[in-house]
Amino acid sequence: MIGVQQKKLAYLMVAPVVIILCSLIGFPLGYAVFLSFTVKHIGVPPQFVGIQNYVELVHSSIFRLTVLNTFIYTFISVLVKVILGVILALILNRIGRGQRALRGVLLLPWVIPTALSALVWWWMYSELFGIINWTLMRTVVPQGIPWLSTPFWARCALIITNVWRGLPFFAITFLAGIIAIPVDLMDAVSIDGAGAIAKVRYVTLPLLAPLLSIVTLFSLVMTAGDFALVHIITHGGPQNTTHLFATLAQQIGFKGGSLGKGAAISLFIVPFLGVSAYLILKFVRKRIV
Amino acid sequence: MTKGRIQTFLKRNWAYFALVPFVLFTLFPFAWMAMTSIETDEELYDMSGNAFILEKGATSSHYLFLLTKTLFKTWFANSLIVSSVVVLITILISIPAAYSLARIKFPGASTIGTGIFLTYLIPPTLLFIPLYTVVTFLRTANSLLSLIVTYPTFTIPFSTWLLIGFFSNLPRELEEAAMIDGASWLQSLVKIVLPLSIPGVITSVIFCFTASWGHLIYALAFVSRSSQQTLPVALISKLIRGDVFFWGALMAAGLLASVPVVIIYAFLLDYYVAGLTKGAMKF
Amino acid sequence: MKIRKRDKGSKVVLGITLIFLSVLIAVPAMGGPAKELSLLIVSHFVPPFETEVEAQAQQWMKERPDVKVTIDWVGTEEQAATLLAEAESGSGHDIVNLESFDSALFRRSLLPLDDVAEELAAENGGWTQAKREIGYVDGRWVAVPWFIHTFVAVYRTDYFQQIGVDREMGSRATWDDMLVWAEKLAAIDHPIGIPVGSNNDSDCSVGPLLWSFGGATVNREGEVTIDSPETVAALEYSKKLFQYMPKAVFGWTAGGDNNVFMLSGYGSWTMNPPSIYASALKSVPDVAKYLDHVRTPAGPDGRFRSGSVWSLGVWNYSPNPELAREFIKFLMRKDNWYAQLVASAGYNQPVLKDYQAHPIWRDRKSLNQYEPMQETLHMMGWKYGPSAAGKKTFNLHIVPIMFAKATTDGVQAAIEWAETELKTLWKEELRK
């Protein structure tokens, strides 16, 4: 039923997207890939050096630490967001009166510009004067927690903030998924005498699985590419233990003027993105077709 | 109350209790912002008293400073303009594209779909230097236009992909019936498919608006004129001077900056949930 | 019939596409006013300074009615991103405000201003010691230094009085004195605090400490010399000193931490420009009355200071190089510079010797050791001149991290780490 005319129309309708993305992303991305194989200083043409930037990065202790940091930060943040997101969604689903208001309230952290919320958290984490330590020192931890001055706690601080910001999106999306599960299916399981936990385990979670994996993979990509949170709260410190690709690239490439190396750092994340993308696409294709 | 009644009460309302820690976790930073925004500077730095009590009383000076001594209203309007126009452009472009990609199996459709998806995965931290060349070429540097031109690079891929999910999920029979009745392919999109996809479109609108509202990197690099800046960048530039932080005003601004989006959400949230249910779930 | 309708649809889509494309093409065609001189300046921690500069620009425009001057004030993060984007695309402002070694970083995109610099120096008694640090790169003036902000010792007179130290003793302090005092101050629960984290303040604080023990990251030839007995001495010393500081100093980041440390009335000593004092005057006058500034402590190799030199450069692709030169000279003119100084409440330090004669620093007792400076001024990257590697050493906070590592991993491990990182940075520099 699709004629030549429609095909033409289809191309025409897709054209704007393709044109915009090619000109605004295609060219810059290609240029960045090219830069990563060069030594490029500000104001002079790049010199091609092959994979030298990448080789140097692999040998750099700060960069290796950054890879580890990114892995820890991304993996734990996303894991916690998924678990808490499912729990929060299940709870929200049980709430009748006031669910709309509560949904709104719980979405707040996702709405506020990260640059501003990161500042609040930084202010709250302040070891000597932050409200978190002020409260802890008067209650359960008299000596306070070294939030930003020790690697372990600095990573915790960033993960907590990331979870705070991302949890609403996870919970609301999962809630939508749970609402979509046919009521009669649930009723049928209830008649079979399944308990609440069994219902979640054998009905809700399996049905939620597709949504879970999509959100998880999207979030993996976004978390690994995070910038503002780390930049504002820890600046990559203490002792570089919280640098991510984006913050290190900013320090070396953009502020330090080594554009080639900065591009190489940013692009190092591409294999990671590629694997995620492959997984998402494989999954999503199955659903679309 | 008898023991039995307490048990019934708990059983019926456990969810509300279970929600308490989540709500506290979510809202505490906002409460802290609200409190800091009405705290006097003197008390802000006085760590001796009770941190939760405003011993020296509340002040509206930070809000007044923000609204009368800075261009806050301009920045707010700029953010609103940029986000709205970007959303409009995104929707106008991504709806037809997504519909074509979802409905017509023309050669290259899946390649284009994959390509669109991949662009979503590229972090903007990478792109701003070469993009500035494009922005300069278009002579849009140092103006809102530069943001209106560049923000679609991260909104269009997401929106298109989301809408592909929605459209491909709608039963074809409806459109086919309409076409047999003499409607054109485009008419069936406008009259049949779109009304059914309103949740999806609204979902997309909300995502794009939020992303544009909070975006930092392009705004930081492309616009330095105060009267043309968006909220996050302007606030950081004007309220953090070297190592001097205007804490009260920053916090007040943070609250004021999240208000409009929260209002939009309050109205659209029902559609939002419905939208995600149809789209993301059956991608 | 059907086909006709489809055609209509195609036309609509085609129309929308064409409109969008024509907007993209039409926008570049719109031109601006003929003679516009635009400046990108970093926002000042004393806002009245900005009002004064704006007023001076208005005044200049009265003399030059054919020119329109616009000034964009930006934060430091924004300045870095904007400079890079502008230099790489060959567009943007005419005059840009550069921080310290930005001049070296952007030297290939900056217009040589030797004539302006030499004229200013000849008329005003020559340059202060800020000169050799900034602007003069590879034998050319690529930027004209405007003013400096440096890190001086900020302390609480009352707490120091409690441990029996007056201003006179404080201004003669050596690092050995500091060690003794730090212990006493910690005992009265008003510890000292030097930022040793991943931020610029840390570099400007521990840099002078390292130098005063004779250590330096590189020598004049750009060879890494961090592995030296002097560095070992500085690190061994710092391990002793740091035990009297709150552990939080190792996590101080965005630059506001040591300000709050002092503004809260908790801390007794830190290193900072007078911005803490400025905030205190505005927000917590009870603290301000006890704040004072003295010279930085001396080590075996002398007394050092670091900070930011703010200079003005002109992009070498600017269409208005002559106007830019003229306006820079106008901003640097003695009467105008003095007006800016007063607006900045005395915090802008001069780069031209004659300007040191202004009475403001003598009249305000708390600033009389801030300027004229008696310490030796250097930037991270000394003993080499202005360099991109020096800027990177600063940005990556190699030296503060080395000091922090010395307390956790030991002195030798810290030095080895710093040496490896520095060598990578300097290898790139010498490639040229």
* Lowest model confidence (mean pLDDT) among B163-167, C80-84, C118-122, C135-139: B163-167
What is residue C31's predicted lDDT score, i.e. its pLDDT?
A: 45
Which pairing describes strands C36-42 and C95-99: parallel, antiparallel, or unpaired?
A: parallel
What is residue A81's predicted lDDT score, i.e. its pLDDT?
A: 96
Mean pLDDT, residues B78-87 taken together = 95
The structural domains of chain B, with segments of one domain joined by +, span 73-241+257-278
Q: Give the CATH number, domain containing residue A74.
A: 1.10.3720.10
CA distance B24 to chain A (A): 10
- From the list A42, A154, A251, the residue facing C87 with the nearest CB is A42
CA distance C248 to chain A (A): 6
Neighboring chain B residues of A263 at a CB cutoff of 8 Å? 126
* Tens digits of residue pLDDT in C241-291: 999 999 999 999 866 789 999 999 999 999 999 999 999 998 899 999 999
Identify the closest residue of chain B to C5 by CA–CA distance. Answer: B184
CB contact (8 A) between residue C265 and residue B46 = yes
Assigned token pair, C55: 């007023």
Instruction: Give CA–CA dist B19/A88, Å, rounded.
Output: 7
Helices and strands counted in chain A (H then E): 15, 2
Tell me, yes or no, if B186 comes closer than 8 A to chain C by beta carbon.
yes
In sequence order, what are the beta bridge partners of C312? C97, C144
* Tens digits of residue pLDDT in C4-61: 444 555 555 555 555 555 555 544 444 444 589 999 999 998 999 999 999 999 999 9
A174 closest CA partner among A78, A74, A288, A84: A84
Instruction: Give CA–CA dist C214/C405, Å, rounded.
Output: 20
Mean pLDDT, residues B125-152 taken together = 86
CB contact (8 A) between residue A42 and residue C6 = no
Q: Domain C152-305+396-431 sits in which CATH superfamily?
A: Periplasmic binding protein-like II (3.40.190.10)
Contact yes or no for C329/C120 (Cβ under 8 A): yes
On whether residue A270 sits in a domain, the answer given is yes
Neighboring chain B residues of A24 at a CB cutoff of 8 Å? 131, 134, 149-150, 152-153
Assigned token pair, A275: 């694997």
**Which DSSP letter does residue C247 get?**
G
What is residue C122's predicted lDDT score, i.e. its pLDDT?
A: 95
* Tens digits of residue pLDDT in B239-262: 988 888 899 999 999 999 887 677
End-to-end CA distance of chain A: 18
Query: What does each C-alpha distance from C160 to A187, C154, C192, C248, C296 come to in angstroms?
Result: 75, 11, 11, 22, 15
Identify the closest residue of chain B to A254 by CA–CA distance. Answer: B129
- From the list A112, A177, A266, the residue facing B123 with the nearest CB is A266
Assigned token pair, C347: 């915090």
What is residue C385's predicted lDDT score, i.e. its pLDDT?
A: 85
Q: Give, in words, the CATH class of C36-150+308-367.
A: alpha beta
The structural domains of chain C, with segments of one domain joined by +, span 36-150+308-367, 152-305+396-431
Residue range(s) defining the domain that contains residue A132? 59-288
What is residue B179's predicted lDDT score, i.e. its pLDDT?
A: 77
Residue B90 has pLDDT above 60, yes or no: yes
Identify the closest residue of chain B to A225 by CA–CA distance. Answer: B123
- From the list A9, A32, A285, the residue facing B127 with the nearest CB is A32
* Tens digits of residue pLDDT in B171-209: 777 777 877 777 777 787 787 778 777 767 877 888 888
Interface contacts (A, C; CB < 8 Å) = 144
Tell me, yes or no, if B216 comes closer than 8 A to chain C by beta carbon.
no
Strands, DSSP E only, in chain B? Answer: 240-241, 244-245
Return the residue in C242, C253, C314, C318 with the most chain A beta carbons within 10 A, the one to mutate for interface testing. Answer: C253
A131 closest CA partner among A140, A141, A121: A121
* Lowest model confidence (mean pLDDT) among A218-222, C129-133, C187-191, C236-240: C129-133
What is residue C18's predicted lDDT score, i.e. its pLDDT?
A: 57
- Give C230 or A13, the one with higher predicted confidence: C230
- Give B9 or A47, the one with higher predicted confidence: A47
> Is CATH 1.10.3720.10 the right assignment for the domain spanning B73-241+257-278?
yes
Taking the CB of residue C277, how many other CB atoms lie within 10 A of it? 24
Instruction: Give CA–CA dist C304/C203, Å, rounded.
Output: 13
CB contact (8 A) between residue A10 and residue B14 = no
What is residue C89's predicted lDDT score, i.e. its pLDDT?
A: 87
Q: Is C96 helix (H, G, I), strand (E, B) or coil?
A: strand
Domain count for chain A: 1
Neighboring chain A residues of C87 at a CB cutoff of 8 Å? 42-43
C93 closest CA partner among C106, C78, C82: C82
* Lowest model confidence (mean pLDDT) among A102-106, A182-186, B69-73, C129-133: A182-186
- From the list C5, C16, C201, the residue facing B243 with the nearest CB is C201
On whether residue A1 sits in a domain, the answer given is no
- Evaluate the omega torsion of the peptide bond into residue C383 and state whether it is cis, within 30 degrees of 0: yes
What is residue A188's predicted lDDT score, i.e. its pLDDT?
A: 75
CB contact (8 A) between residue B270 and residue A100 = yes
C165, HSE (Cβ side, Cα atoms, 13 Å): 23
- What string of pLDDT tens digits covers the 289 residues of chain A? 456 777 788 888 888 888 888 888 888 888 888 999 998 888 888 999 999 999 999 988 899 999 999 999 999 999 999 999 999 999 988 887 777 778 788 888 988 999 999 999 999 999 888 899 999 999 888 888 999 999 999 999 999 999 999 998 888 878 877 876 766 677 777 767 777 788 888 888 877 777 777 778 778 888 888 888 999 999 998 999 999 998 998 888 888 888 888 889 988 877 777 777 777 667 665 654 3
Instruction: Give CA–CA dist A66/A195, Å, rounded.
Output: 45
C132, HSE (Cβ side, Cα atoms, 13 Å): 10
What is residue C12's predicted lDDT score, i.e. its pLDDT?
A: 55
Mean pLDDT, residues C102-125 taken together = 94
| HEC profile of B156-195 | HHHHHHHHHHHHHHCCHHHHHHHHHCCCCHHHHHHHHHHH
Mean pLDDT, residues B150-164 taken together = 86
CB contact (8 A) between residue C264 and residue A128 = yes
C88 closest CA partner among B132, B124, B238: B132
On whether residue A125 sits in a domain, the answer given is yes
Strands, DSSP E only, in chain A? Answer: 38-39, 47-48
- From the list A150, A236, A257, the residue facing C198 with the nearest CB is A236
On whether residue A185 sits in a domain, the answer given is yes
